[in-house]
Structure 1
């Protein structure tokens, strides 16, 4: 090989290395630029309930419309008792038709620590029989109230049962109390159908943001990395009215809302924290297991009591 050829070869190699380096940096920049990520997961699915302001069909349609406008596919963790009727099945079918994951939240929505294993496991399978025919059904399970067991035997027996049935855990990373705000909202509208709603919207959006910041910060401390988050909210009037505001808030603050299927690929969802009582956000449980964050962990992790003072102050 002559000097000219050698020089050309060296320049080509340098170019390749430089291109690879730039490519790596570009990928890193793209990851940073995309921002933190979160998916929407919705629990319970009392789709037939009548509420002030919106009837059942309108409420269901409004939540679906917010997700459709954002081009998102959520995960619907369905308590079978709410959809074990023709109307409920029709309303849930709209979710599956739109591509949202349909997943198991038990049939009776029992608090597992208060129910024996045999009854609870049978109840879980009863729910599956009600929802499994929907095309987007996936074997993901989420415990009602996020309570996974009060004893080692209760916790581990259910974990083994779920694995034997082919289920994955549909853990929450960002827990919140939208249900408590929804209760206040419905009470106010029942008293005064023309009541202004701006303060409910504003409080709700900021509540979700505050809890998101808390759990994201905790995740980074415990795992030393960001996670693909899953937000827990409920199929209720509050989200029929204001889910679009929550989605807009995330976009404005640099977060990317992603499909639930993508979020649940994060390795954090394969974790099995060794804590008692078992449950809460998976981030909360991992923080408790570490023994390093006891000063910031409250129990239960989320509850109406924590938001009551501020809601009272605002007249909500």
Structure 2
């Protein structure tokens, strides 16, 4: 797995030469705040910001809510038909599960997918059910930091497709969780979003659900009657693994668990397995929370000073802190990390 090197002058932190970041996260001892450290100005500033955010978030967490919470956020809204489920049937299945568990999710719509009668019907159903609708840009392009003004224009191009629904909020989710590779581009983009009344709809638990979905769909295209149970098991194990990793990272950086926002996509895996996923989290002691509740936490106003900008918000706060470099891979999630395990399992 790729490992980033720690910033020069950062506080010493044990490096694990082998194993996964998750193992390192469980096994390394917490940093001793009394340990003398030589910090450069940039690292001090990052640590100060992270500490400030942590303090505000800690005050906002009720004493009886220390178990992690999880909110469902679903990206793209590509309503193309898939094996086993049409786009509309998939959406109906997703909303039925959310209603059964009495939680309100957030959908982030990429405009290039959100046009036509089918999309209008689905978005109206989401809004009427009390779910949030946010902006995911029109073209779903990767933002490298170049030409933020053109990127903002693409965001605004998507807004008329959403603004007529009562569920619409000016929440923006960066495609690919990419917020810029340069400080100038990152900061200009943040200023533009604020100027147009948008908040960053951060992910805290990133996943590669899209990759599991790609593999499942390829199998079903080749073998329509293929057994999907192994894919269900892999999917649930994958999401649980990523959820526990990011929650443990939040505990180390912030001092407590948080109400997380889980990244999923409007894909076949979500239509088939979301019910199992929510039941799993509940059975393992996590709380299901509404997306609007999660996004309202002060933590989500954080703007970590890291480059490349983006990834999970928890990942970015850990990066800005400077003490957790050995735990962080870049990108945080990618199909390349899951491919060997799926290959080995014959999936």
TM-score of the alignment, normalized to the shorter chain, above 0.5? yes
Cα distance in 1 for residues equivalent to 2:86 and 2:167: 26
- 1:223 Cα deviation (Å)? 1.0
Match in the other structure for 1:292: 323
Residue by residue over 1:180-221, the C-alpha shift from the partner in whole angstroms, topping out at 9 and shown as x without a partner, is 000001011111111111111111011111101100000111
Residue by residue over 1:167-190, the C-alpha shift from the partner in whole angstroms, topping out at 9 and shown as x without a partner, is 111000000000000000101111
- 1:225 Cα deviation (Å)? 2.0
Match in the other structure for 1:248: 279
Cα distance in 2 for residues equivalent to 1:82 and 1:64: 18
Equivalent residue of 1:195, what SS? Answer: coil
Quick check: 1:173 aligned with 2:207?
A: no
Residue by residue over 1:94-114, the C-alpha shift from the partner in whole angstroms, topping out at 9 and shown as x without a partner, is 111111000011010000117
Map 1:135-154 → 2, pairs under 5 A: 135-154=166-185
- Deviation beyond 3 Å, 4+ runs, structure 1: none
Match in the other structure for 2:72: 40
- 1:31 Cα deviation (Å)? 3.1
Cα distance in 2 for residues equivalent to 1:226 and 1:191: 42
- 1:314 Cα deviation (Å)? 1.0
TM-score under structure 2 length normalisation = 0.81
Equivalent residue of 1:80, what SS? Answer: coil
Higher-RCO chain (CA-CA 8 Å, sequence separation at least 6)? 2
Largest Rg, 1 or 2: 1
Unpaired runs of 5+ residues, structure 1, are 1-26
Q: CA RMSD in A?
A: 1.1
Q: Determine if contact 1:105/1:142 at 8 Å carries over to the other structure.
A: yes
Q: Which one of the candidate residues 109, 113, 120 is aligned to 1:78? A: 109
Map 1:124-203 → 2, pairs under 5 A: 124-203=155-234
- As a proportion of its length, which structure holds more helix? 1
Cα distance in 1 for residues equivalent to 2:157 and 2:117: 17
Q: Determine if contact 2:74/2:264 at 8 Å carries over to the other structure.
A: yes
Q: Determine if contact 2:69/2:258 at 8 Å carries over to the other structure.
A: yes
- 1:115 Cα deviation (Å)? 5.0
